[in-house]
Amino acid sequence: MSDFNQGISIIVPTYKGEKYILKLLDSLKNQTLDKNLFDALFIINGERDNSESIIKRFKSENTDLNIEIMESQKGVSNARNLALDTIDREYCIFIDVDDYISYNYLEELYKHRKSNRIVLGNFFNVDLEGNLSKTYFSDTLLENNGLFHLYDFDVNPLLITTNKLVPTIYANKVRFNPNLYNGVDLDYFFKLYSKFDFEFYIVDNEREAIYYRVLVPGSISRQDMSFQFNVVDRLKVMKSLDNTYRKSKDKEKIFKLLDFIVNVGQKNFIVRYIEKHPEDYFKALYEIESYHIENFDYLRFFKCLDSLDVNTQDNIKDINNYIYNLYKKENTFKKENQNLKKELDFKNKLLKTRPYRLAASLRKMAMKLRGRQ
């Protein structure tokens, strides 16, 4: 890693962070790591607020800190990608603008650096009143410490963008997908792990090297349930992962991770939506099929929905109305639109299928639509 300077580059995409950014800046100021061993790059992206002014004022008052400001195109992925093109330190860390880190965080992670190693600290949620709570993977980090390899423990902490010291030589070989709005972290780190082999080190929780994720209402990670967020955005992530897997040179190594992300994590977003909105059951099924995701496990998906009764009168009525509207479309476009014809054929067949046979039938129809039979 001789082409890089010693130390850590901190990457902070900055969008409407004026309410929270001072907390992050103060946490950087209070770091025990030598100030010459880290710098912070703030990338303004999207609509501006007073964040840039706050950063500039803080920089002028703390000249011992290495702080730079850049501007990128709108979007967190564009901001991170610009930073990856710019940074010149051996290691990098992503921090969200509304989060902050413990005073010893950088030093503790940096102690355990290695050229092929990703180092993780502890991770807690904190609300706007300062109350701490565990996230779904906090216990994994609290109960484990030391050296691990992929699949040695719950992989969830490995799939978020933050709370990692990553060797820059590998981090800047992969890019965040600006076409994804949600699940960007999953997509990026799946690509990273499919291209390179890493060992992982979790800092002992007694060292209290903590990443604090502030629970901000309306943030990407705390969106309300919707068809777009729970179904469409998840399918876009799955499709991108599918494409990465197809190009992977070591499919055996990476399949378990792919299966976990697609058929556990992302699938559950869809299942939760259908359970709350059974009237969109049929709409969700077609949306899934339209993405042609090779590694989507239909059998496990339908098993999760065993308790959902789609044969109620109301649901049949909803489905019939949906089909009726499609027939109206068909009369308008006639048979010129082949995609619409496939959609109608698919739905007509699906309506004749009993719920307990949906999984096998859907798979069979999917293969026919793709010309596999």
DSSP state at residue 142: H
What average pLDDT does range 114-137 have in this prediction?
94
At residue 368, the pLDDT reads 61
Confidence class for position 337, pLDDT limits 50, 70, 90: low
**d(Cα 280, Cα 285) in Å, to the nearest integer?**
9
Residue that is written with structure tokens 């619409």 in the block? 340
pLDDT of residue 302: 76
Residue tagged 């604090």 (tokens): 212
pTM of structure: 0.82
Identify the band that residue 224 occupies on the pLDDT scale cut at 50, 70 and 90: confident
Residue 306, pLDDT above cutoff 60: yes
Q: How many Cβ atoms are within 10 Å of 174's Cβ, its own excluded?
A: 20
Rank 263-272, 283-292, 297-306, 357-366 by mean pLDDT and report only the highest: 263-272
End-to-end CA distance of the chain: 51
Q: Which architecture characterizes domain 5-222 according to CATH?
A: Alpha-Beta Complex (3.90)
CA 36, distance to chain mean position in Å, is 32
Q: Residues 141, 125: contact at Cβ < 8 Å?
A: no
Instruction: Please give the distance of CA 363 from its chain centroid, rounded to a whole number.
Output: 27
How far, in Å, CA of 173 to CA of 314, rounded?
51
* pLDDT tens, residue by residue, 5-38: 999 999 999 998 999 999 999 999 999 999 999 9
One-letter identity of residue 41 = L
The rounded distance, in Å, linking the Cα atoms of 248 and 194 is 6
Give the per-residue pLDDT at 221.
55
- Mention every residue, 6+ apart, whose C-beta is less than 8 A from residue 81: 72, 175, 176, 178
Per-domain boundaries in the chain:
5-222, 227-369
Query: Using one digit for the tens of pLDDT, what is the confidence trace for 131-166?
Result: 999 999 999 999 999 999 999 889 999 999 999 999
User: 101 forms bridges with which residues in the sheet?
Assistant: 211
Contact (CB, 8 A) for 350 and 282: yes
What's the pLDDT band for 301 if we cut at 50, 70, 90? Answer: confident
- Angstrom distances, CA of residue 276 to CA of 261, 265, 279: 22, 17, 9
Q: Each residue of 36-81: pLDDT tens digit?
A: 999 999 999 988 999 999 999 999 999 999 999 999 999 999 999 9
Give residues with Cβ within 8 angstroms of 322, minimum separation 6: 282, 283, 347
